[in-house]
Amino acid sequence: MWKDEVLEEIYTIREEHAKSFNYDLQAICNDLRKRQAESGRQIISKPIKQRSQQPNKSLHPTA
């Protein structure tokens, strides 16, 4: 089976990071937010798209 070395490295780093916080999701997220704030990079986020309330229309009508 073919392995992607880059993905394997990412998985390893992610696992080590989670393990360092005893797999506590809240602590992991807090750490990532702290690192993001300290990075000095401009954070850009898109607004969440609202789903339309229109009924689902089939592309192929049956009748």
At 34 the pLDDT is: 95
Residue 6 to residue 9: CA distance in whole angstroms: 5
**Distance spanning both ends of the chain, measured CA to CA:** 48
3-state DSSP call for residue 42? coil
pLDDT digits (tens, 9 = 90+) for 1-49: 788 999 999 999 999 999 999 999 999 999 999 999 999 998 888 888 8
Helical ranges in the chain per DSSP H: 5-20, 25-39
At 56 the pLDDT is: 63
pLDDT at 62 over 70: no
At 55 the pLDDT is: 65
At 57 the pLDDT is: 66
Task: Kindly report whether the global pTM for this prediction surpasses the value 0.95.
Answer: no
